[in-house]
Amino acid sequence: MDCCFCGIRACAKVILAPICIPYKLCCGSKSNTSPQHPHVPSPISKQPSISSLSKSSLPKGNYEVFLNFRGPDTRHQFTGFLFNTLDNVKIRTFMDDNDLYQGEEIGPSLVKSIEQSKIYVVILSANYAESKWCLRELAKIVECRERDKRHIILPIFYLVDPFDVKHQAGPYEKAFQQHERNCAPEIVQSWRKALELVGRLSGWHVKRTDQHKDTLDGVFKTILAVIRRNDNLLDTSDLVGIDEHVKAITEKLSLESPDLTMVGIHGFGGIGKTTIARTVYHKLGDEFERQCFLQNIREKQEVDKDAAIELQKTLISSVMMRKDFTISINSVEEGRKLIEDRVTPFIILIVLDDVDEKFNFKEVLGDLENFARGSRFIITSRNIKVLSSFNKNKCKLYEVGPLNRQLSLQLFCKHAFGEDGPQSGFETLAKKIVKKINGVPLVLEVIGKSLSKEEKSFWEGTLAQIEKIPPKEIIQTLRISYEQLDYQAQQIFLDIACLYIGENKDLASYMWSDIGFYPDKEIPLLIHRSLIKIGDDNKFQVHDQLRDMGRAIVREESFEHPWMRSRVWNKKEAVELLQYKKGSINVKALNLEDEYETGKLTCEYFQNLSELRYFEAHGVAFEGDFNEILPNIRSLCLREHKNEGCYPTNFQMRNLVTLDLEDSWDLKSDTANKLKFLNLSGCSSLTRLPDLPRSGSLEGINLSKVSNLDPDVELNVGGLWNLKQLYLNDVKLKRISGGTIGTMKKLKVLDVSDLECENLEEVLADIAELSSLETLTTTKPLTDELQDIGQLPTSLKRLRTSSPVVNLSELLKLKVLTVQDCYDPKLQIPSVEDSWWKESKLKHITLINTNIDIASSSSPLPRLPSSLEFLIIWDCLESKWLPTLENLENLIELGIIECGHLQEIQGLEKLLQCNNLKSLQIASCPKLTSTFRRGGRFVNSSLQELCLRNCGGSIPRLSNFPSLKELEIGKIIGEASEQVTILALFTTLS
């Protein structure tokens, strides 16, 4: 059976012990059977084939899937299940009006959502035609489909005959009779036309006797296949001559063979190895059960001592295909074991991009023989000897050579003119430049971009520069594009190449803006010229050839004397510069990120670095008076200060914009009036807070775990109106002065957990005015006035609290709720009639060490929202009853632990019949007497972990759970573990 989280066909563990093992996200075993996707079922009737759908790329938009349905018929059943299934694997899905303002008709917002969606899933139920809203949406969907055939409509005939839909017969006939009396004829006709078209389409017919899970799996499989196919449609419009390379490599991969195969692509830098590998990867990805592209391996190993572990994490995460999946790996050995358990059972395509002699395949990924037969590996390298050593010298080699003259001209012209050929009057110049570049794609692209829209005289000057470069050093032509930049753009590019690859754009921009540069202007220019890229994570990316070029330019400032260069990033050179006090006014940036192991750094070492604007060092010991030593420092990162008792004083902070002193010391200095970002987290030696700038410059403050402040210390928040993040967790303050939290209108994250402060309640009094606040953490009970959480911002998405009263009715955007260490709370669930039930997005509730009173024996048990996926109730000793669980169809994990007075769990068996629950733990609840009905007959094919320990009542029939992988039974009161003998029947248990 496949693990619901990683899809691995695995044996399992049986635990008969009095100790409850913490919930594990994935199984850890493997078998010899290649698995299917965990959510993909076998085909069912009426399912549209993927080949019948449009093979062009899907339209781009905010949503990938739009669900059109009648809420009362299917919202909390079929449609709700489908939405959560798609959401769990990161498929962006629009569901009804959750993203619209209340009361809005099918206006611009909804129209835009429909137009920008890629796939329309139309759930046609018996009462669907009664809803004008549904019919309006459907008419718009059909209109979009007719206008752009790339849109895809997937109909589901839910308890309704497709004939009735197509001909508006049966239940649809009566609805249309009503519409014809109340609506304009042309409107009704457009609805009939839309239903007729959809009724003719191939889809799914769900009957009363059908298992909904089979249909859901079929729909999910189709949507996933369409989106994966679309994701693998790489835009090759700017690629030239790629087809022959792809064809040759595909032949070498021998896809028809069941054997493991490796292909190594080699050639010099900039020739297109990575581009070719990525194109093959996107073209062939659908042929494999999983795929992963591990890029820039050589660079990562140069700058990160834990690069092997990070590569392992990336590989495992790609295979998991789970939303918000994170994994912890403490050693390379542990990573290899996880890869063997979770990755190797799949037939997988892996690209290892840009490896050198430092990369050890076996050390990082384990034995090649462990991978499933049919798996393929594509490896790129500049070094043919490295590739030859892979797979016991059986790696098939493919060399990428320069483009021929015709293809070179075509590629160059695409970037210079936006066309396949040169514009009139530029033919001769274009051909001469292309001839000199000698077929190197990266150079053709960069030089072409640099000449775009320039005058002929500019082209002639560029050609003259290129002609001076020897053919064997043609990659140096890249420098021409750099030299054409203005001074500011050049300096920003050099900073990125030497210091900021993989770093956040915004933090770097703070520094550039402060020294008079214009990053908002220059960064887009660098992107346009193909010199840099910005990833989806807002971090800088640079091609390794361009990175090396930038660093070479800096080295040329002084070949023999690093201390005469503008930037020093090499550890050995940085240490020598400081140790021998060789600094100069030329040095603008110094990076000593790795631990400095040779003594202390005193102020004398920095005497000659008066122009330094960027300094980063980890694990160093500083001391001395730095008065007027670093007057121009803008960005300072000094983490993990080593030696207690020696501290630097009088740092010049008047020009500082970013300061990171995590786990370091009390920095004796003047006020940093320009500061944008301040991180003092974990500074245990800090006894007084620094003076914060009151000019409104600060956007982020982290004071978490600053645990040794003097008893009289106050935090003045006056003038911090631009603050976006404020972390005050685990801090002791006398007071917060200078105003209230409500003045920080831009605040998005606020953490006041375990904050000790005399006037916290007063400070939080107007917290409801924080209209941008998304995350709030507070472990202190709020004031009487604030106990109604409805007074908190309705923008909240994550809330962790110890407040005695939690009223959820206004928090429609809330996704995660944690109530901990609260001894007199009442979790107020809105009534079933409240609109909150339809609009709530709550996914996760955790109650820990809390005397909850969310139900009573004298009143009907309230219900929790059906959107819930995780419900954990731990150490809630006074609770006797819980809300009924029967409506939690989407619940994945349920844990009820150490609830000593709990007597009943209503709706548990019905919950188990929903076939979504993966983990169930009930432990240390000795008064629980009616967990399961004796002899209850039902089948749950999804449950994989079951823990029943120290609780009363009957244990369920274990044969009800054919997919179990982990089972723990201990100290069951009442019906003992007589069913253990049935374990021999389980093939999933080991």
Residues designated catalytic:
137
Q: How far is CA 607 from the centre of its chain?
A: 44
Among 678, 689, 681, 680, residue whose Cα is nearest residue 712: 689
Among 550, 542, 544, 585, residue whose Cα is nearest residue 569: 550
Who contacts 978 (Cβ-Cβ below 8 Å, separation ≥6)? none
500: number of Cβ within 10 Å? 21
Among 92, 73, 82, 84, residue whose Cα is nearest residue 219: 82
How far apart, in whole angstroms, are the C-alpha atoms of residue 122 and residue 78? 12
Among 165, 127, 168, 148, residue whose Cα is nearest residue 61: 148
Give the tokens for residue 591: 């990076």
DSSP secondary structure code for residue 791 in this structure:
G
Give the tokens for residue 507: 């933090």
Backbone angles phi, psi at 36, to 5 degrees: -90, 170
Among 583, 637, 641, residue whose Cα is nearest residue 612: 583
Among 276, 71, 35, 279, residue whose Cα is nearest residue 158: 71
Q: Cα separations (Å) of 305 from 302, 738, 755, 903?
A: 8, 45, 36, 53
Among 281, 84, 3, 25, residue whose Cα is nearest residue 843: 84
How far apart, in whole angstroms, are the C-alpha atoms of residue 863 and residue 837? 10
Question: Angle 185-200/132-147 helices, nearest 10 degrees?
Answer: 70
HSE value, Cβ hemisphere, 13 Å, CA-based, for 331: 3
Give the tokens for residue 355: 């490896």
Using alpha carbons only, what angle is made at residue 290 by residues 232 and 29, rounded to the nearest 5 degrees? 165
Q: How far is CA 92 from the centre of its chain?
A: 13
Question: Can you spell out the DSSP letters for 918-983?
Answer: -EEEEEEETT---SS-TT-----SS--EEEEEEE-SPPPPGGG-TT--EEEEE--SSS-SGGGGGG
DSSP secondary structure code for residue 423 in this structure:
P
Among 203, 228, 200, 194, residue whose Cα is nearest residue 64: 228
Give the tokens for residue 520: 């908002």
Using alpha carbons only, what angle is made at residue 558 by residues 553 and 563, rounded to the nearest 5 degrees? 110
How far apart, in whole angstroms, are the C-alpha atoms of residue 990 and residue 983? 9
Q: Cα separations (Å) of 360 from 240, 268, 332, 386, 388?
A: 33, 21, 12, 10, 13
How far apart, in whole angstroms, are the C-alpha atoms of residue 684 and residue 681? 9
11: number of Cβ within 10 Å? 16
Residues forming beta bridges with residue 805, ordered by sequence position: 826
Among 956, 958, 898, 907, residue whose Cα is nearest residue 928: 898
DSSP secondary structure code for residue 65 in this structure:
E
Q: Cα separations (Å) of 624 from 537, 574, 969?
A: 39, 19, 63
Give the tokens for residue 981: 């003998």
Amino acid at 657: V
